[in-house]
Amino acid sequence: MEYLPISEYGVVGNDDRCALVGRNGSIDWCCFPHLEDASVFARLLDADRGGHFAVSPVADFESSHRYLDRTNVLETTFETDDGQARVLDFMPIREHEAPGHGDERFQQALYRRLECERGRVDFGVEFAPRFDYARVDPSFDRMNDGVLACGDTERLGLYADDDVDLEVVADEGRVDGTVTLEADEGCWIGVQYGGREPLASVDRDEALEATKHYWREWLGGRDGSPASMPEHWHEHVVRSELVLKLLIHHETGAIPAAATTSVPEKIGDPRTWDYRYNWIRDAKFTVQALHDTGHREEARHYFEWFSELARRGPDEIQPLYGLHGETDVEEIELEHLSGYRDTGPVRIGNGAAPQFQIDAYGTIVQALYETVQFDEETTITDDEWSAICELVDFVCDNWEKKDAGIWEFRDERRHFLHSKLLCWVALDRGLALATENGFDAPLDRWREGREAIREAIEERGYSDSAGSFVQHFESDEAIDATALLIPIYEFLPPEDERVQSTIDTVCDRLTTEDGLVVRFVDSDIRRDEEEAFGLCSFWLVDALVLSNQLERAREYFENVLECASPLGLYSEKIDPEDGTLLGNFPQAFSHLGLINSVTYLARALDADGEVTPEDFDPDNVETLFRRGDPPEP
């Protein structure tokens, strides 16, 4: 079997889990009982061994897919010579009012509704689960209304209406099925993790309607996004909101970086990582995006997550955590899986967890500061302030140390510009929280530390020869997209000559004609990357808006929108040559960047989304990470 392009997958899910559904009707990635657990379908990572659950016409077909309006319910339409049919895929949302729906296991399921719209369509079914990342082959037991797949300790029930004829092919580890549908006929098929119940007692039609209602109710507002969002970008924002909600863990508020593991950053390159973890560095972008789209409950939940992390103490902070706060996320290579398009290794766990990334402390302080700024109902308790003080003090004592940086270089430590910038942020926002709320703090010590970091960044982080802030203090030529964050964090104003020169250099050396931005070039740490990084491309848009280069910002932004999948989804990276999506998928970072860039553009453009530079006033276009007062000179 050939591997599908990442752009041909849709994602469905609910509070704790996601599944990738190909345009060919095959579910090629799904983990149960939760997103961070072992896969039951992993053909995404090995076409032969991974396992899948496919539903598609037996005859040759053309297919397309879309989401039902303002939902995460995926509709795939198949056309054959004899007819047209559709498959609706969704994971049910908990509805406590309905019998059985209050059981958490109710959500550990995936339903597929087959409907013939005209003519006649013969469907084929292939159900081939492979438990524990395809390390355990199943056995099968027949049930009255389906088949139970059994692993060592796991069970996955396949349910099907009576019209679906199922046959166990035990020696090949799968169940085959067929069903013929005439116009206006339909049937249900689905899987329930843990066995047959509670799916047996669920009305699937009611579950579908309840799930559609849930997504639309959650979006709320003006069909899903605040009125300040320009109409022509509305659908992009809505889809990004729905992606984020899919990824948010309902118990803890944590948000994994993506729903998958080990989709390579470049085909043939071993940069394959497990992204099903919550990275601290995502917090500063997440809080803003949730607030600007009106999802304050999720933002508060996220605040509580980071407030709890802060109370663990500075020495216990690590760059990433499991979705329940787990700290032990040992990285393991699964040698029996070949990887997406035979690009291994396939990894579970993430070896970056024990790294020293000092930018994490600034990220936590920034996220807490942002939440308090935006949400009048959120206040910082004495215990929380004590924890924040410990973080800021830690930065004062340790900002001069080398670290692994935001890009998590595994074998190198440097004085990374971004890390120093976030150290400055930790002290600056710590001072703001103290002075604005009357908290006790060693203000003189923090001010001295902030000034020392400023001097270091300005004296050692800017290269006259490169005309830009550079990746790390030891280099005069390494250009890194993180330098675009300097005006966004209000370290320097956008009109500063060094900021403008940095933006020009990034445009010249990191950016394609279409505005796609790679992470870095001319680094002594790792070779240049050819793939564009989605979030960095949105950072450039934001920096251009702050610089009053509105037409260019809008042009680049709309070019990046063209790089989304047909369903409006982004992975981590984009091949500038052909637009191929690369890296884990869907990527929270990319969708956060989209929302935040729309926020910037909406503040700078008029109500119809027209560019009006003559009316532009930088003081009215606040940075996402508002400091409040102007930065010190």
Pair 185, 262 in one domain: no
Taking residues 294-313, report their average pLDDT. Answer: 82
CATH number at residue 327: 1.50.10.10
- Among residues 409, 431, 593, the alpha carbon closest in space to that of 516 is found at 593
**Last residue of one domain, picked from the residues 161, 185, 218:** 218
Q: What is the pLDDT of residue 606?
A: 64
- Domain co-membership, 192 together with 225: no
Asked if 440 and 449 touch (Cβ cutoff 8 Å), the reply is: no
Return all residues near 617 (Cβ < 8 A) that are at least 6 apart. Answer: none
Residue 92 lies in a domain: yes
Q: Is the pLDDT of residue 573 over 60?
A: yes
Q: Evaluate if residue 434 carries a pLDDT over 50.
A: yes
Q: Domain check: are 213 and 237 in the same one?
A: no
**In contact, 148 and 196? CB cutoff 8 Å:** yes
- The strand ranges marked E within 196-337 are 278-279, 320-321, 332-333
Residue 631 maps to a domain: no
Question: Is 198:184 a contact under the CB 8 Å cutoff?
Answer: no
Residue 59 has pLDDT above 70, yes or no: yes
pLDDT of 460 > 70? The answer is yes
pLDDT of residue 626: 52
Among the three residues 169, 188, 218, which one is the final residue of a domain in this structure? 218
**Quick one: 198 and 288 in the same domain?**
no
Inside any domain, residue 277: yes
What per-residue confidence (pLDDT) applies to 201? 75
Examine the pLDDT at 612 and tell me if it is beyond 80. no
User: Does residue 506 share a domain with residue 492?
Assistant: yes
- Shared domain for 285 and 299, answered yes or no, is yes
For residue 207, pLDDT over 60 is answered with yes
The pLDDT tens digits of the residues spanning 155-182 come to: 999 999 999 999 999 999 999 999 999 9
Over 50: is that where the pLDDT of 96 sits? no
Evaluate if residue 629 carries a pLDDT over 50. no
Range of the domain at 272: 220-620
> 């970056």: which residue's tokens?
352
Tell whether the model's pLDDT for residue 485 goes beyond 90.
Answer: yes
- Asked whether residue 371 is domain-assigned, the answer is yes
Check whether residue 131 and residue 167 sit in a common domain.
Answer: yes
Question: How high does pLDDT run on average in the chain?
Answer: 91
The answer to the question of residue 570 being in a domain is yes
Same domain, 214 and 334: no
**Does residue 271 fall inside a structural domain?**
yes
And the tokens for 499?
């900021």
Q: How many domains does the chain have?
A: 2
Pairwise CA distance, residues 95 & 456, whole Å: 55
Burial of 2 per CB tally in 10 Å (0-12, 13-18, 19+): exposed
Domain termination site, one of 218, 248, 268:
218
208 and 234, same domain (yes or no): no
**Owner of token pair 């990433």:** 320
Helical pair 283-292 and 234-247, crossing angle rounded to 10 deg: 130
pLDDT score of 396: 97
* Residue 83 belongs to a domain: yes
191 and 325 share one domain: no
Q: In b/e form, how buried is each residue of 532-541, taking b as 16+ CB within 10 angstroms?
A: bbbbbbbbbb
Instruction: Kindly state whether residues 180 and 225 are assigned to the same domain.
Output: no
* Mean pLDDT for the stretch of residues 216-229: 67
User: Are 17 and 128 members of one domain?
Assistant: yes
Which of the residue ranges 66-80, 239-253, 292-306, 389-403 would you say has the lowest mean pLDDT?
292-306
Q: Which amino acid appears at position 97 of this protein?
A: E
Instruction: Answer yes or no: is 321 within a domain.
Output: yes
615: confidence class by pLDDT, cuts 50, 70, 90: low
DSSP 268: T
Q: Is the pLDDT of residue 195 over 80?
A: no
CATH number at residue 160: 2.70.98.10
pLDDT per residue over 119-148, tens digit each?
999 999 999 999 999 999 999 999 988 999
